[in-house]
Structure 1
Amino acid sequence: MADQASSLNSLLASEERAQVDEFFFSRSGLASTTAETYSASWWDFLTWCKSHGHEAIPASPGAVAEYLEDRRHYSLSTIRNRLSAISFAHEHLELGDPTSEGRAAEVRKSITQEKREEEIRSPGEQLGNRPYPPSEIIRGGLPLLRDYLACLNEGSVGDPGEEGTARHERWWSWQGRHEQVRETWLDSFISEEKASAEAMTDGQCKLVPEPEFSLSVMRDRALLLLMAAAGASRPEIARIDLVDVVPDDDCLLIGMRRKNGMPDRTIRLSGSDSVELCPIRAMTAWIVGAGLVGGPLFRAFDAHSNMKSSRISLSSINLLVQNAAELAGFNLDEWTPSRLKRSPRE
């Protein structure tokens, strides 16, 4: 038995993906679909542990907690798969479950609660009793965004069927955090950079799709315009939350955070007379059209074009840029998120 446990331990700690697959597909007794999910989940945890100097098997609750914080942007279902794989591997070797103890259990509970609060309902439900016509959503810009955010602060945007107490609590949560974050991004110790569509090249402008009353198009327009105008990287774009978007005078402040969540800098985004290339109108259209009430700014979509509560992934941003370049008739090898970020002059 000791030899068998040692052999399984070696497979789970291996630097070869094929040996990890051998454990889950041949030694675990799991169904093939579950084995596939657990193998991918464990490999992600294993490689993360190796790169951060932690033991994966047996793992400590502290290491699991740190891993969860690093993967906090994942969807709740993906996080659950990761945790299930970690639990299964340890239980299979008759080791204690590091996901249900100490700080790991606390972080797990915190993330679960956060993700549930971010669950996205339909745009019509979220707009409540204040629907906006498509033309106003596309063209409204800052005045519309100010009105929409004011509705959030008043607690009048949300699920019409939500109980009064729950809505009141959500309002206090949103208002408190929004005011706190606004003060952060306006603080004199946070560096500020100016950005506008005027800095974009002809190629970058052609990459942006025409305005359309479609959630995916509105998201893509806002993301592409922000990335090109502000020179923002993919991780910076993915980390932005709705509360990091702050109207200020005739500009829109976008707070950029570091990987650990600490404020990095503020982008002061200026508008444009062109509806097609105005980053403020594009951001407003996405926020209001999607009925965002909190959580990540740029969301993922499922295979049926339904908006999810999880953040857009870096690979999805890659694909978004590649698809836009293909539709614009560009050479795909020459158009990447890095080039879009650099804002090269042509």
Structure 2
Amino acid sequence: MAGQDSSLNSLLTSEERAQVDEFFFDRSDLASTTAETYSASWWDFLTWCKSHGHEAIPANPETIAEYLQDRRHYSLSTIRNRLSAISFVHGHLDLGDPTSEGRAAEVRKSITQEKREEETRSPGEQLGSRPYSPSEIIRGGLPLLRDYLAGLKEGSVEDIGEEDTGRHDRWESWRDRHEQARETWLDPLVSREKASVEAMTSEQRELIPEPAFSLSVMRDRAILLLMATASLSRPEVARIDLVDVIPDDDYLLVGVRRKNGMPDRAIRVSELDSIQVCTVRALSAWIVGAGLAGGPLFRAFDAHGNMKSSRIGLSSINLLVRNAAEVAGLDSKEWTPSQLQHTPQDLQ
């Protein structure tokens, strides 16, 4: 038994994804779809543990709690899959379940409540809860965004009672992560590119919806302008978190990460007089209008138009580009996200 446990431990803590897959697909009795989900979930937890200096086997409730805090921007279903995979691995090795005890259980409960509240808020509640007028949100730009983010970092924690430790930890985590991200994107070793509205073609400009006090319009304008002026791909846009948006002096930095989460480059975005093609004001309107307080920058919507906590999907970006083209009177079949990108020479 000890030899078998040692063999399984080696697979489950391997640096090679293929060996992790071997356990879930070949050495467990899981259905193929469950094996695929659990393998991806365990790999995420394993790589996170290694990057943070924690043991994945056996994991302890404090490690799980910290992991959940870092992953709380994921959708509730994704978080549940992550925890189910961790529980499955520990159960298979006859170890206690670290996800259902102590601090892990507390954070899990807090996140579950938060996600349910977010996903049940109506668009009217989301927009109506902002302490700014519609005109301020649409036109406010960099000064508005600075004020809003400062409120998240400084004012929110003061109103939390000592008994509400879950919310307190959430805001402390936001402040810490925002400061860490700021240091990262301002680091001179991180390359910078400049967003260029001049590189946009006339048809790309036609693709941008008119400003409107609507969550979907504000989100789509921000995505389309960011892709068109900074030449970002769909995955790069979807991976951006709110903490990666950094007001600095008279411009905005938007951090772009690689697939593994490492910083790739920072996009410098300047405010423009023309609100129609001003990426800074489009991003500010979306962040403030949606009341974002952490997690993914660009969110999905459900079938009823309610904003969800999960990231926008790549297929949804395809769809919003086609829809924008159709509304603009362009041939929607010819428009894909890649047509919003430019060569590096175009951006210089």
TM-score (norm 2): 0.70
Question: Take 2:328 and 2:136, find their aligned partners in 1: how far apart are those partners?
Answer: 27
- Say which SS state the counterpart of residue 243 (structure 1) adopts: helix
Question: Take 2:26 and 2:107, find their aligned partners in 1: how far apart are those partners?
Answer: 23
- What letter is aligned with 1:257? R
| Distance 1:250-1:302 versus aligned 2 partners, 3 A rule | same
Greater mean deviation of Cα atoms: 72-81 or 298-307: 72-81
- Say which SS state the counterpart of residue 259 (structure 1) adopts: coil
| Distance 1:248-1:211 versus aligned 2 partners, 3 A rule | same
| Distance 1:192-1:110 versus aligned 2 partners, 3 A rule | farther
Task: Quote the residue 1:283 is aligned against.
Answer: 283
1:322-341 map, 5 Å? 322-341=322-341
1:301-312 map, 5 Å? 301-312=301-312
Task: Quote the residue 2:14 is aligned against.
Answer: none
- 1:179-205 per-residue CA deviation (whole Å, 9 max, x = no partner) reads 111011000110000113222111111
Question: RMSD over aligned Cα, in angstroms?
Answer: 4.1
Number of residue pairs matched by the alignment: 289
- Say which SS state the counterpart of residue 276 (structure 2) adopts: coil
| Distance 1:195-1:123 versus aligned 2 partners, 3 A rule | same
**Cα distance, 1:112 vs structure 2:** 5.2
1:56-205 map, 5 Å? 56-59=25-28, 64-66=41-43, 75-78=75-78, 80=80, 116=112, 119=115, 120=118, 131-156=131-156, 163=161, 166=164, 167-205=167-205
- What letter is aligned with 1:248? D
- Say which SS state the counterpart of residue 232 (structure 1) adopts: coil
Question: Take 1:203 and 1:69, find their aligned partners in 2: how far apart are those partners?
Answer: 45
Which residue of 14, 22, 29 maps to 1:54? 22
Question: Take 1:203 and 1:242, find their aligned partners in 2: how far apart are those partners?
Answer: 29
Task: Quote the residue 2:229 is aligned against.
Answer: 229
- What letter is aligned with 2:273? D
**Cα distance, 1:151 vs structure 2:** 0.6
Query: How high is the sequence identity, in percent, across the aligned residues?
Result: 62
Question: Take 1:97 and 1:105, find their aligned partners in 2: how far apart are those partners?
Answer: 16
1:258 aligns with 2:258: yes
Question: Take 2:323 and 2:76, find their aligned partners in 1: how far apart are those partners?
Answer: 27
Task: Quote the residue 1:211 is aligned against.
Answer: 211
TM-score (norm 1): 0.70
Q: Is the 8 A contact 2:199 2:342 kept in 1?
A: no
| Distance 1:201-1:117 versus aligned 2 partners, 3 A rule | farther
- 1:29-62 per-residue CA deviation (whole Å, 9 max, x = no partner) reads xxxxxxxxxxxxxxxxxxxx87985341435987
Q: Is the 8 A contact 2:123 2:215 kept in 1?
A: no
| Distance 1:247-1:74 versus aligned 2 partners, 3 A rule | closer
Q: Is the 8 A contact 2:130 2:288 kept in 1?
A: no
- Say which SS state the counterpart of residue 308 (structure 1) adopts: strand
Q: Is the 8 A contact 2:123 2:306 kept in 1?
A: no
- What letter is aligned with 1:179? E
| Distance 1:165-1:128 versus aligned 2 partners, 3 A rule | farther
| Distance 1:178-1:80 versus aligned 2 partners, 3 A rule | closer
Q: Is the 8 A contact 2:123 2:307 kept in 1?
A: no
**Cα distance, 1:284 vs structure 2:** 0.3
Identify unmatched segments of 5+ residues in structure 1: 1-48, 91-95
| Distance 1:326-1:224 versus aligned 2 partners, 3 A rule | same
| Distance 1:63-1:132 versus aligned 2 partners, 3 A rule | closer
| Distance 1:116-1:104 versus aligned 2 partners, 3 A rule | closer
- What letter is aligned with 1:199? A
- Say which SS state the counterpart of residue 142 (structure 2) adopts: helix
Task: Quote the residue 2:65 is aligned against.
Answer: none
Question: Take 1:271 and 1:319, find their aligned partners in 2: how far apart are those partners?
Answer: 27
- Say which SS state the counterpart of residue 189 (structure 2) adopts: coil
Q: Is the 8 A contact 2:206 2:328 kept in 1?
A: yes
- Say which SS state the counterpart of residue 342 (structure 1) adopts: coil
Identify unmatched segments of 5+ residues in structure 2: 1-16, 29-34, 48-70
- What letter is aligned with 1:144? L
